[in-house]
């Protein structure tokens, strides 16, 4: 089966990364001195560090104060809250990279290839909810902090051995997480990151891509359809038929429920949280949040409560 083949490819690339990091054969770069966060016109940012391994071709990373061209057999770790924008460099058919990310409750690994707009697009993704997901995030975050402690922000420096050990440990845990079968993950209706998706492989893939790319302002049903090589009308119909929820509603639900988590878990401003969850305008985010939860983001934060069930809905 193709899924099993792609899963083996992911595991093989992660193992290659880990071994190369430990041996010193794969450079590990961490951009320092970047503003965090910045408005969405510049790019996107994530709450935790994100790891990129360039398999072939090249990726141009644009940061608030610098650029970096990630070449084959190199790793780049984007620190938490650092805005970045990625562009494919070179022929589209030569481009491939591996992206690994971990949050407090889940982690994901995906292969990216060139999209229609010269931006990397998810080709195959696997997401897991291991109990140690938060530890993976901490290993990568600690690596970025240690890099900042060891080197001046103006120096572009390959990671030292202690940093490499942290990165290799994170990669080993990503590998371990991939061994968890998706059917063994317990469902939870309170979080789209944990609930069962059901339906066909197309519906599953659409859902996984939303969970991975919800922070991207450009995310839409049309873009998902391009990634999945089908028409937007067909994808919308299949998703609604098999899940009972429209795909647009699911995108909005993921963004807003993630925003609610960030309000509880971080000190980010409402404006920064709206950017982190794919909203261009703070006022639009507040309107959608208030409709969905019955409270403004500021009111919700003051309650200090867990994620609320929604009294609202999306069509």
Q: Taking the CA of residue 202 as centre, how many other CA atoms within 13 Å lie in the half-sphere pointing to its CB?
A: 18
55 and 110 belong to one structural domain: yes
pLDDT at 189: 40
| Distance (Å, whole) CA 209 – CA 220 | 11
Domain assignment of residue 282, yes or no: yes
Give the pLDDT confidence of 203-222 residue by residue, as tens digits: 988 998 898 889 888 899 99
Domain assignment of residue 310, yes or no: no
| Distance (Å, whole) CA 135 – CA 46 | 16
pLDDT at 283: 93
Q: Is 312 strand, coil or helix?
A: coil
Residue count of the chain, please give it. Answer: 315
Burial letters 91-122, b for 16+ CB under 10 A, else e: eeeebbbbbbbbbbbbbbbbbbbbbeeebbbb
Helix axes 201-213, 221-228, angle to 10 degrees: 120
158 and 261 belong to one structural domain: no
Domain assignment of residue 314, yes or no: no
Domain assignment of residue 276, yes or no: yes
173 and 250 belong to one structural domain: no
116 and 214 belong to one structural domain: no
Kindly report the backbone phi and psi dihedral angles of residue 44, in degrees, each rounded to the nearest multiple of 5, phi listed first. -130, 160
34 and 148 belong to one structural domain: yes
Give the pLDDT confidence of 244-288 residue by residue, as tens digits: 999 999 999 999 999 998 898 888 899 989 988 999 889 999 999
Write out the two tokens for 96.
């491939």
Domain assignment of residue 129, yes or no: yes
User: How many structural domains comprise the chain?
Assistant: 2
86 and 163 belong to one structural domain: yes
Domain assignment of residue 194, yes or no: no
Q: Which of 184, 213, 232 is the last residue of a domain?
A: 184
Closest CA to 63 of 46, 43, 39: 43
**β 107-114/85-89 pair status:** unpaired
Write out the two tokens for 269.
């401003």
Q: Which of 124, 151, 184 is the last residue of a domain?
A: 184
246 and 166 belong to one structural domain: no
pLDDT at 187: 39
173 and 222 belong to one structural domain: no
Closest CA to 75 of 90, 54, 46: 54
Angle at 142 between CA 137 and CA 143, to 5 degrees: 100
pLDDT at 95: 96
pLDDT at 153: 65
Domain assignment of residue 315, yes or no: no
169 and 208 belong to one structural domain: no
> Which residues are CB-contacts of 279 (< 8 A; sequence separation ≥ 6)?
40, 217, 255, 285, 288
**Cα dihedral sign for 82, 87, 89, 94?**
positive
Domain that holds residue 207: 201-303
Asked if residues 72 and 57 have their Cβ atoms less than 8 Å apart, the reply is yes
221 and 246 belong to one structural domain: yes
> For the chain, which residues score pLDDT lower than 70?
1, 37-42, 152-156, 182-199, 304-315
94 and 162 belong to one structural domain: yes
19 and 155 belong to one structural domain: yes
Which residues, listed in sequence order, are joined to residue 110 by a DSSP beta bridge?
99, 125
Domain assignment of residue 313, yes or no: no
Q: Which of 129, 153, 184 is the last residue of a domain?
A: 184
Give pTM, 2 decimals: 0.84
Task: Give the position of tokens 């038929």.
Answer: 241
């Amino acid at each position: 089966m193709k899924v099993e083949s792609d899963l083996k490819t992911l595991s093989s690339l992660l193992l290659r990364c880990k071994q190369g990091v430990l041996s010193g054969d794969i450079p590990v770069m961490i951009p320092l001195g970047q503003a965090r966060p910045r408005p969405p016109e510049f790019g996107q940012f994530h709450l935790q560090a994100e790891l990129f391994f360039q398999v072939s071709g090249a990726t141009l990373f644009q940061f608030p104060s610098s650029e970096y061209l990630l070449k084959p057999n190199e790793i780049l770790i984007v620190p938490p809250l650092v805005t970045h924008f990625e562009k494919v460099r070179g022929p589209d058919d030569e481009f491939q990279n591996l992206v690994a990310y971990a949050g407090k409750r889940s982690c994901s690994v995906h292969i990216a290839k060139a999209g229609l707009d010269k931006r990397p697009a998810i080709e195959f993704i696997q997401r897991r909810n291991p109990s140690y997901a938060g530890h993976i995030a901490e290993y990568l975050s600690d690596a970025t902090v240690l890099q900042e402690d060891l080197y001046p922000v103006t120096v572009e420096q390959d990671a030292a051995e202690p940093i490499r050990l942290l990165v290799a440990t994170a990669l080993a845990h990503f590998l371990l997480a991939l061994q968890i079968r998706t059917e063994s993950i317990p469902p939870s209706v309170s979080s789209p990151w944990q609930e069962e998706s059901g339906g066909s492989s197309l519906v599953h893939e659409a859902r996984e891509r939303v969970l991975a790319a919800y922070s991207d302002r450009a995310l839409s049903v049309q873009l998902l359809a391009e990634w999945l090589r089908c028409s937007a009308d067909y994808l919308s119909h299949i998703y609604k038929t098999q899940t009972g929820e429209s795909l647009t509603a699911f995108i909005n639900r993921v963004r807003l429920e993630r925003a609610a988590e960030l309000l509880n878990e971080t000190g980010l401003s409402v404006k920064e949280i709206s950017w982190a969850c794919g909203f261009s305008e703070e006022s639009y985010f507040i309107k959608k949040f208030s409709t969905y939860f019955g409270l403004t983001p500021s009111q919700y934060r003051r309650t200090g409560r867990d994620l609320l069930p929604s009294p609202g809905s999306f069509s």
